[in-house]
Structure 1
Amino acid sequence: MRIKVLILMLFSCLMISGLGFASDALVTINDQLIVDEGLVVVENGIPYGLVSDFAQRMNIEVEWLQNAKLAVLTIDGDYLSFKMDSNLLIINNKSYEMKHNSFADNGRIYIPFEVLAEKLGITYQWDATLLHMTIQNSELEVLPSEVKELNYTDDDLLWLSRIIEAETRGGSLDKKTAVANVVLNRVNSTQFPNSIYEVIFQRNQFPPAYKSGFMTKVPSDLSVAAAKRALMGVEVAKDCLYFNYIPFATKTDSFYKLIEGDYFYY
């Protein structure tokens, strides 16, 4: 029987833990890619799930006990308690240890996803390269407004992956995604051509596209993953239209940030 959702000022007084900034993961629920920043995040290579959101989606009661720093889920009469910044899991007053600590970020508590999935009866697959969590559970609610529609071809993915590979080489997933963002932002801008291929080959814009071997370049798995993430809506360089390995003297007012040696601009 479903339990009425009750969230009493859930985690409003939590302090952000010292673990650093986590990366958002892509999330597909019941074959639908959703737009929900922070539902699943990755910290030190480990995926974590947002307790309050998953509980709400499954109509599970959640209560935050401020003094004890515990998030308590009530599931079919059982009480599951997760302590903030701890590996402690308490089930009906019996304590267990998780492999990794829970943590709080922006007033929201996260626990290792493998534990959350086991306790909520969620089936999942984790793609560590793409940072993509695929989830199956018929009780998880997804609103129509959350569904992300994909609209790209295999050729789009190939050309975007190639230019990412040529421009970033040994860069991280975030750096590669930022370059992909610039290409896609140009496609969506009236200042540039309206296709990935045309943006890449626009005169004097992406010099590596004119080098020998580019037309047959085989992108790395990481470059393909970055292209997919950008096409699926991940934004590392939101709204940026330019990047360069040296600063642009004429674009100081539109500087966004430095990412692994490249300067990104709006």
Structure 2
Amino acid sequence: MTRLPVVSLTDCADANALARQSTRIATLFGATPTVLPLTGPDPEGAAALTLLDLLRSTDLIGGPTQPVVVLVNIAPRDGHWPNGVPFCWFRHGEHLVISTLNHRVLAPLAAYLGVTEVHVTDVREVLEAAAAGWAELAPAEIEEMVRTQFRSLWYVPLLARWLADGHEVPARPQAVQPPVAREVRVAVVDNFGNCKLDLPAVELPGYDGEKGLLVHNRHEGRDVEVRCYDRLPDVPYGEPGITVGSSGVGFAELVIRGGSAADVFGLHQGDQVFDLTS
């Protein structure tokens, strides 16, 4: 069995859940995984940016890379699926990603990494194929995993292990569409209080213009004009600015040099900053 590093992004993140997931993944892959809990008010937005950043971090290496397995468990908040959203998989270079079929999480990968298609799996179909081919699973065990709502614990690590081992897992292809014009939101508030937005700076209307962009200050109940700068060091100390940040492909960040933009503007993860839909 090849040992592969595993990174898991999940909104099922209490201590008990993290312990069970870590132990199961370690049992299957022979190494303790890195489990990143996404517990903020907008886990879909945080997962979208974090997954994009995670895959981008494997670039600019200058040579061969070690394959990484990434697990993403962020269920859409629409209540549409009878027993939870399906799981899909795709590869980015040598790296394997297993994810809930969540358009908001996957759409940035289509726009900025060229991921055009994922392979959608059915739990029962995959487990029965595995039992008929390479896994020792009794019918009762299959039924237990098919019926459980905790598929991210029981099913996803198995799917990842089997795909990493090169097994022919049944799946159907589904296209991934890039995001359409939309509200620009805070995806992540970092430990400095910088607000990482979910769009490249150059795609903000008026970013390259002489005037700043209007940002709503929730404390004062009014819009504030914030100038745009290329980098954080270009922002005057103590002043707000919109810069090309460290995330995504030149994604924008609302910052205050030497302070917390989140605190000053009253912003949290998931809050709207601009509206590009009109």
Q: TM-score, normalised by structure 2?
A: 0.30
Q: TM-score, normalised by structure 1?
A: 0.31
